[in-house]
Structure 1
Amino acid sequence: MSNEKNIAEQEEVIEEQNAAEVEVEGETVNPDTTTETEEASESGNVAEQRIAELEAKLEEAENKVLRAQADFDNFRRRTRLDQEAAQKYRAQSLVSEIIPALDNFERALQIEADNDQTKSLLQGMNMVYNQLIQALQNEGVEAIKSVGEQFDPHIHQAVMQVEDENFESNTVIEELQKGYKLKDRVIRPAMVKVNQ
């Protein structure tokens, strides 16, 4: 019987421990629930840290998306500008190759015709020359004006300098070779003689 009495006493002690409440900071807390609240507060801190990490990752991702969108907009703008320039100056390589032929036409047209055959040949050459000039003008090619103009290093190439009292300083006196522009781009600068 003492055995049964000991078992009954032990069961009572266990029940008392389970039912016992401890007063902590003015609140009554069951000793078994204190670990649960500690775990809850720890899990709350972990959750807050996780939320902060996720917010930082979200902000970084948004920044990456904005940068990628800006890069794409810049790429699209550059591509459009390149296409416009390619369209605008599509004839540049052809013009560069035709200009020496124009120089040779001009030299040939300066020949003095002494008979009808030569005059007829020069007249035909002049017609072809004028057609070439017209076709180039239709594409936006124009000769650079030089004689009597102020020297501009962007469109003129000074080959000689002379002193002439009849012209102002830094004025183009003579054009040695014609220069040409395609729209606003210089294809070949004019070779000129400039007054000092």
Structure 2
Amino acid sequence: MNDETEHQVRQDSDMEDDTITEVIDADAQTEAQQTDHDETEQGPLQAELDKVKQEKEEMHQRVLRIQAEFDNFKKRTQKEKEADLKYKSEDIVKDLLPVLDNFERALQVEVTDETKNFAEGITMVYRQLKDALSNHGVKEIESVGKPFDPTIHHAVMQEEDEEAEPESVIEELQKGYYLKDRVIRPAMVKVNK
């Protein structure tokens, strides 16, 4: 190859390099313009997208709070139902306690030969009533000799008794009763000073 041909090849190669550089520069400018254009268009779109994401997150949190409130409501309702079932007989038991008291008073009467059969009948009915109440969770509050407890005892009298412990129940004037674990009638008692 001669010098002139070599020189021509170099010039062609330089021109190709310049053309390639120009094409690359043009591509880069076009790409930069496209990116600027996309960013300009994406600015409002991105803001809208961010707003929608925030609203979605707020709604999600709201749904979680509502779900938690509903779960708490269900638990509270279930506990109320259980309590209602547990103490459903409370009203009727309260109505029957004076009847039980009257049976006990009737059984304290002196029995004669003439009233023996009648007293036995009353005793049987009294036992049946006590058993029926017991089957529904009614039990007597033990009082005599126990320390006075204002949650289960109602003090109506005080008396000094040196043989008994201070602040203890020395006499039961009216029986108290539990319904399961709830006091439905406190015992009326005489308390030692």
Normalising by structure 1, what TM-score?
0.78
Distance across 2 between alignment mates of 1:175 and 1:85: 30
> Which amino acid letter does the alignment assign opposite residue 108 of structure 2?
Q
Unaligned residue ranges in structure 2 (runs of 5+): 1-27
Question: How many Å apart are 1:170 and its aligned residue?
Answer: 1.1
For residues 163-183 of structure 1, what are the alpha-carbon distances to aligned partners after superposition, in whole Å with 9 as ceiling and x for unaligned?
211111110000010000011
Match of 1:185 among 176, 182, 186: 182
Moved more, 80-89 or 141-150: 80-89
Q: Give the aligned partner of residue 52 of structure 1.
A: 50
Q: Give the aligned partner of residue 119 of structure 1.
A: 116
Q: Give the aligned partner of residue 59 of structure 2.
A: 61
For residues 100-153 of structure 1, what are the alpha-carbon distances to aligned partners after superposition, in whole Å with 9 as ceiling and x for unaligned?
100111111111123x23222111111100000011111111010000001111
Distance across 2 between alignment mates of 1:66 and 1:117: 77
Superposed structure 1 runs of 4+ greater than 6 Å apart: none
Q: Give the aligned partner of residue 150 of structure 1.
A: 147
> Which amino acid letter does the alignment assign opposite residue 175 of structure 1?
E
Question: How many Å apart are 1:38 and its aligned residue?
Answer: 6.2
SS at match of 2:115: helix
Correspondence list, 1:1-196, <5 A: 40-114=38-112, 116-196=113-193
Distance across 2 between alignment mates of 1:158 and 1:52: 71
> Which amino acid letter does the alignment assign opposite residue 51 of structure 2?
E
SS at match of 2:96: helix
Unaligned residue ranges in structure 1 (runs of 5+): 1-26
> Which amino acid letter does the alignment assign opposite residue 50 of structure 1?
E
Question: How many Å apart are 1:28 and its aligned residue?
Answer: 5.2
> Which amino acid letter does the alignment assign opposite residue 191 of structure 1?
M
Q: RMSD of aligned C-alpha atoms?
A: 1.9
SS at match of 2:144: coil
Question: How many Å apart are 1:43 and its aligned residue?
Answer: 2.4
> Which amino acid letter does the alignment assign opposite residue 131 of structure 1?
Q
Rate the CA distance shift 1:92–1:28 in 2: closer, same or farther, 3 A. Answer: closer
* Fraction of identical pairs, as percent: 51
> Which amino acid letter does the alignment assign opposite residue 66 of structure 1?
L
Normalising by structure 2, what TM-score?
0.79
